[in-house]
Structure 1
Amino acid sequence: MTVQDSAIRRSAIAVNGGTLLAALGVVAFSLTFPATAWALEGLGPWSVTTCRMTLAGLAALGALLALRVRLPPRRHWAGLSIVAGGVVVGFPLLTTLALQTSTTSHAAVVVGLLPLTTAAYAAARTRTRHAWTFWAAALAGAAVVVAFALLQSGGAPSRGDLLLFAALAVCAAGYAEGGRLAREMPGWQVVGWALVLCLPVAVVGAAAALSAEPARLTWHTVSGLVWLALGSQLLGMVVWYRGMAAIGVARASQLQLAQPLLTLVWSVALLGERLSPAAPAAAVGVLVCIAVTQRSP
């Protein structure tokens, strides 16, 4: 085997490994909405958001201290602030508020637009060019989920939809900035420092929210909150950012077109929600778009 062949093989292994990590992140994220619905059974939306931030932040702080990780260079703090504002605070809060009026399955489909918004932000931020087939498939996938969402909501966006669209915007920025930073520092440290950055606000917010909102701890509430903090907010973000660093933000983001479909499965299995007949058609359309984006140069 020549040196060039070895390099090609290592590159292929890295890409496959990055795709697997990003896919594991998508699986973890697909459980976020069902876990939020469980947590909301016993806690208010502000309590759910701040408590998950607090638990995840404390776990991240413990890991960073135990491993004696040094503070990131000053040039990274602006990007970490965007990650913190997008994926630690903005997206969890906005989606939790939206789930007070929207079903889990409906919210999952609307958030299916996240791959397109993330790819667009990353392309503008890094001045990356992609083939027209990539963008055509991304737009087609977005059109599928938009049509599905409008069909579910009767043809007009609801208040919950507006909150979800706002969540898309801030989360796309957080994902793209996190993927960029994960090329310069370990992905788990990107997530860890973003969580630690929000920890003071999270602790104060959790104390205030728990005193103002009713709290009733059940098995669903506790397990949902634990998954949100350690599964979605921490472990899921770690593998997601590592995957984005290996295969690129835009390509990894298209794997999230599968996330609404997985969430639909969890909404039926865990929450007992009933799906509309359009779900299988949307599933086929989204999977085709994923295949095209992953093969585009």
Structure 2
Amino acid sequence: MSDTISKDESLSGWINGFIGVLLFSGSMPATKLAVMEMSPIFVTIARAAIAGILALSVLMIYKEKRPEKKQIFPLLLVSVGCVVGFPLLSALALQYLTSAHSIVFLGMLPLATAVFGVFRGGERPHPVFWFFSVIGSLLVIGYAVSQGISASPIGDILMLIAVILCGMGYAEGAKLSKTLGGWQVISWALVLALPVMIPLFFIYFPDHIETVSFKGWFGMAYISLFSMFIGFIFWYKGLAQGGIATVGQLQLLQPFFGLGLAAYFLHEQVSVGMLGVTVGVILCVAGTKKFAK
């Protein structure tokens, strides 16, 4: 599949993918702001419900046709992985971890996305691609270990499962984007979850919602609009244009953008060694791009 991608498509894919990564980078710090004042379950439900209503409105405005029957199951996988699975499990994990710790697990997301891209997207990257992908992931994980991050088995397991589900959702969504369209994929995935999310929104609505601060609402607004909807528009389009495994490696940069945001907004400590690791990660991303075919 990668061989059929033109240079213009590849460049557009990397640009769209990079914008998506930038928007996703604020997800963990913003989620942390939200779960500090609201329950992780409600945060997950609310972000999906808000984004779902927005997506339904956009679909109705543009009078988009409904997905075909064969597209329903892949859309359900996107919904399970990206609308429910990753948001819920990562929000639960943040009860045990700092956002800086949780962001480190995102270093494994490119590998997960690439693996699902092979099994579900039919992609066959060059063997050297896997070398750079693994090295990039190890750099991110190694950096986290070097910071002396305190271990939390429950939080770590939750984040690991979240990353696997997210990789599945990314690959399925990218594959669908080729026929359904990038923003249409995440929109229909959100709409499929709405019948469940709307009732749960009222069931889990907090009793003392008036005590939630501006920071808490800001976190909720960000993950509902940018993490759950707008970011996916660019991300799925980028994956579809440039290749799931290839463009997916841009996610290696996400932890470092996220760590910077966590340091600025949440005052979480980030080592200066991050700069050197970032350079190494960028080189790995360049390597995966070169050997993607």
Q: Is the 8 A contact 2:116 2:167 kept in 1?
A: yes
Q: Is the 8 A contact 1:41 1:220 kept in 2?
A: no
CA distance 1:265–1:11, shift in 2 (3 Å): same
Instruction: Give the equivalent residue in structure 2 for 1:57.
Output: 52
Structure 1 CA distance for aligned equivalents of residues 273 and 156 of structure 2: 19
Instruction: Give the equivalent residue in structure 2 for 1:96.
Output: 91
Structure 1 CA distance for aligned equivalents of residues 150 and 220 of structure 2: 33
Instruction: Give the equivalent residue in structure 1 for 2:82.
Output: 87
The reply to whether residue 235 of structure 1 matches residue 250 of structure 2 is no
TM-score with structure 1 setting the length: 0.92
Q: Is the 8 A contact 1:150 1:156 kept in 2?
A: no
Give the letter aligned to residue 55 of structure 2. Answer: A
Q: Is the 8 A contact 1:187 1:238 kept in 2?
A: yes
Q: Is the partner of 2:211 in helix, strand or coil?
A: coil
Give the letter aligned to residue 163 of structure 1. Answer: L
Instruction: Give the equivalent residue in structure 2 for 1:186.
Output: 181
Q: Is the 8 A contact 1:118 1:172 kept in 2?
A: yes
- Residue 39 of structure 1: which of 19, 34, 41 is its match? 34
The reply to whether residue 164 of structure 1 matches residue 178 of structure 2 is no
Q: Aligned runs of 1:132-143 on 2, under 5 Å?
A: 132-143=127-138
Q: Aligned runs of 1:258-277 on 2, under 5 Å?
A: 258-277=253-272
- Residue 197 of structure 2: which of 191, 197, 202 is its match? 202
Q: How many residues align?
A: 288
Structure 2 CA distance for aligned equivalents of residues 75 and 242 of structure 1: 20
Give the letter aligned to residue 275 of structure 2. Answer: P
The reply to whether residue 255 of structure 1 matches residue 274 of structure 2 is no
Give the letter aligned to residue 167 of structure 2. Answer: A
Instruction: Give the equivalent residue in structure 2 for 1:5.
Output: none
Structure 1 CA distance for aligned equivalents of residues 228 and 67 of structure 2: 20
Q: Is the 8 A contact 1:110 1:149 kept in 2?
A: no
Q: Is the partner of 1:183 in helix, strand or coil?
A: helix
After superposition, give the CA deviation of every residue in 1:245-295 in whole Å (9 maximum; x if it has no partner). Answer: 100100111010000010011011111111135423332221221111111
Structure 2 CA distance for aligned equivalents of residues 68 and 117 of structure 1: 34
- Residue 218 of structure 1: which of 213, 219, 230 is its match? 213
Structure 1 vs Structure 2 CA RMSD? 1.8
Q: Is the 8 A contact 1:39 1:221 kept in 2?
A: yes
Percent identity (aligned): 35
TM-aligned CA deviation for residue 101 of structure 1: 1.5
Q: Is the partner of 1:130 in helix, strand or coil?
A: coil
TM-aligned CA deviation for residue 160 of structure 1: 1.0
Give the letter aligned to residue 225 of structure 1. Answer: M
TM-aligned CA deviation for residue 121 of structure 1: 1.2
TM-aligned CA deviation for residue 146 of structure 1: 2.5
TM-aligned CA deviation for residue 155 of structure 1: 8.2
Structure 2 CA distance for aligned equivalents of residues 181 and 127 of structure 1: 13
Structure 1 CA distance for aligned equivalents of residues 191 and 72 of structure 2: 12
Instruction: Give the equivalent residue in structure 2 for 1:246.
Output: 241
Q: Is the 8 A contact 1:137 1:292 kept in 2?
A: yes
Gaps of 5+ in 1: 1-9
The reply to whether residue 121 of structure 1 matches residue 116 of structure 2 is yes
TM-aligned CA deviation for residue 119 of structure 1: 0.1
Q: Is the 8 A contact 2:97 2:152 kept in 1?
A: no
Structure 1 CA distance for aligned equivalents of residues 213 and 92 of structure 2: 20
Structure 1 CA distance for aligned equivalents of residues 99 and 138 of structure 2: 20
Q: Aligned runs of 1:6-17 on 2, under 5 Å?
A: 11-17=6-12
TM-aligned CA deviation for residue 158 of structure 1: 2.5
Which portions of structure 1, spanning 4 or more consecutive aligned residues, are displaced by more than 4 angstroms?
A: 152-157, 211-215
Structure 2 CA distance for aligned equivalents of residues 89 and 246 of structure 1: 25
CA distance 1:241–1:228, shift in 2 (3 Å): same
Q: Is the partner of 2:6 in helix, strand or coil?
A: helix
Gaps of 5+ in 2: none
